[in-house]
Structure 1
């Protein structure tokens, strides 16, 4: 794992010696990517063997520290993956918060995100370190690697082998346990499992939550995704997101508020449709849940311009182009009174 030593503020000069001293808090947050493929191998980064850097000459996870322009740890990690390897992982899910120890003995909290990718590391343009390589879990005891990283990978592999995997609960760094260097915070829960693939093992599914909002004129709310969006750039789509250790309805209510400034009472939400799909060959299966909100407060605003650049209301018979295909399939299903669609399995 990569990390940066946290910075602390000095007490203000007017503070008296007998006053309670504030506990120093990390001023920089760190994030790393646990990347695995459909065969259960993990992508590891061989770091430069240079004295003074973090984990010199060791196999580690890609990642790094946040910068002033980063608005979230996920954004930090996506930037680091692009800068270090030109790598884009469509879905990154919080998995654990690790406590790692820097060279000066300081405990540094690191948010670990997990994501699936099945590409060839040789095709990536690595700008830091020596190389990237896939490793099966049984090989890792022979690698030069921090014990905390090896333990993290072992835990994740055990969850995959058991056929279930769940993200970490939302845990702030301020509340992370500073008494151990490898304390992971996670709460796995079963995902819906697909039929065994070519590897003969169950595959965890990704769960997406989508908002179907229809105004008094029968028009549907859709957003135009940013050209640089990790998924479906320059394409119209539902207001959508992934759950963060929360129920699907709670996720929907949160995403509507954060993305568009819409206030929705959970009691006004009802299930409308599900699309079970394989988006493109080699990517994880997805269960896309679509919920209808009968009532809401507010007018759609652009609150996350890095994801959505425009909101619009569209008649179902005159939907914009291009439109995410499974979103169109869901709208067609809702209009026809169907609750379920399968997409991309054949």
Structure 2
């Protein structure tokens, strides 16, 4: 892998320079550097449009990167100790591409039963044969958690010949599988481990008790940078190791993704990587302490709280009260949450310190 440039804002700086030059656009997109607008367009959108660009020679090409996009992807790979590619169609396209790169039509894949719908859509349209892996159900909450090594071993023994294992870790609720143990076992069988890690792009600091699966032996991992990092919606990336067929993966990415990738999304991906890369040990510690304090305040207020392996996911158990009604109450006072169910609600906490005013006016 080519070494990344030291400047973490190379991609963003090139876009900024392009805008400063006030170039004449005789190319798509149709707003032509934000000049085809009228006074009905909000100022915020008018300011963004000049950065919504296309594959000009000096702006590189996502599907054949050899310039600033390649440099930015190399910087990302260096951070995650892998080969890495930007995704502009979310983790959905990453899941499709990981499966297409490892499992051929008619072949078996061992897949977590409660996987995201994008995985089931891919299995259907790619013509794969799924062998279902049932996750452990958490006592008391009834929430599905993770797939164990024993479950994987049993599936392989009963249904041999599968070409890959597809897991979800962390789960929506922040539970994380024992990826190291599972990957060590699968390595002996020459079966690649694919991980839908859409909610785990931030799990990178070496002091965290559980880190991204890409550091724990997984063959390929897809992450939604827009879920837990400051990237625009649909911004994601895929990391992969040498036992993944790179040619097939790249072909799948080019086939399943748009041929007109958003430069705004890509710029936000480079920024998200930079944001994560620049967090100091002190800032990481402060964020975790802030989140722990948030949980403590919830418990002091009488809430029953579940926190998974991922410290940014907090579930409040509302039974016998209705979680849907509770979420409506929160919304009425200006607090929007990730998920509401009959017996619980889910909070996705930001990768920054939580400010007192964000909780004080409702938690008491």
Q: Shorter-chain TM-score: what band?
A: under 0.3
Kindly indicate which of the two structures has a greater share of residues assigned to helix: 2
**What is the TM-score of this pair, normalised by structure 2?**
0.24
The one of the two structures with greater contact order (alpha-carbon pairs below 8 A, sep at least 6) is 2
Kindly indicate which of the two structures has a greater share of residues assigned to strand: 1
